[in-house]
Amino acid sequence: MQLIDGKKISLEIQEQIAAEVKTLVATGHKQPHLAAILVGNDGGSETYVAAKIKACENVGFKSTLLRFAADTSEEKLLEAVVGLNNDSDVDGFIVQLPLPKHINEHKVTETILPQKDVDGFHPVNLGRMVLNLPSYISATPYGITKLLEAYNIETGGKNCVVIGRSHIVGSPMSILLAKNTKYGNCTVTLCHSKTKDLKSHTLNADIIVCALGIPEFLKADMVKEGAVVIDVGTTRVAAPETKSGFKLKGDVKFDEVAPKCSYITPVPGGVGPMTIASLLMNTLLAAKKEIYA
Tell me if 33 sits within 8 A of 90, measured CB to CB: yes
Tell me if 95 sits within 8 A of 78, measured CB to CB: no
Tell me if 56 sits within 8 A of 286, measured CB to CB: no
> Alpha carbon of 112 to those of 60, 62, 85, 95, 124: distances in Å?
24, 19, 7, 9, 10
The catalytic residue among 119, 206, 231, 251 is: 119
Tell me if 34 sits within 8 A of 284, measured CB to CB: no
Residue with Cβ nearer ligand GUN (94 or 227) = 94
The reply to whether 97 sits near ligand GUN by the rule CB under 6 A is yes
- Kindly write out the interface string for residues 147-186 of this chain, putting x where it contacts ligand GUN by CB under 6 A and - elsewhere: ---------------------x------------------
Q: Is 31 marked active-site? A: no
The reply to whether 140 sits near ligand GUN by the rule CB under 6 A is yes
Question: Cα-flanking dihedrals φ and ψ of residue 144, to 5°?
Answer: -65, -40
- For 65, which DSSP code? E
Residue with Cβ nearer ligand GUN (66 or 258) = 66
Bridge partners of 33, per DSSP, are 62
H or E element that contains 80: helix 74-86
Closest separation in Å from C-beta 110 to ligand GUN: 14
The reply to whether 211 sits near ligand GUN by the rule CB under 6 A is no
The reply to whether 139 sits near ligand GUN by the rule CB under 6 A is yes
The reply to whether 202 sits near ligand GUN by the rule CB under 6 A is no
Q: Is 96 marked active-site? A: yes
Q: Which residue is nearest to ligand GUN (CB)?
A: 97
Nearest alpha carbon to residue 181 among 215, 144, 210, 217: 144
Report how far residue 287's alpha carbon sits from residue 235's, in angstroms, rounded to the nearest whole number: 33
Instruction: Provide CB contacts within 8 A for 202, sequence distance 6+.
Output: 161, 163, 191, 208, 218, 222, 223, 224
Residue with Cβ nearer ligand GUN (5 or 119) = 119
Q: Is 119 marked active-site? A: yes
- From the list 21, 59, 94, 274, which residue makes contact with ligand GUN (rule: CB under 6 A)? 94
The reply to whether 281 sits near ligand GUN by the rule CB under 6 A is no
Residues within window 113-132 making contact with ligand GUN, judged by CB under 6 A:
119
Closest separation in Å from C-beta 139 to ligand GUN: 5
The catalytic residue among 5, 14, 91, 96 is: 96
Residue with Cβ nearer ligand GUN (118 or 222) = 118
Residues that bind ligand GUN (CB under 6 A): 94-97, 119, 139-140, 168, 275
Active site (catalytic) residues: 52, 96, 119
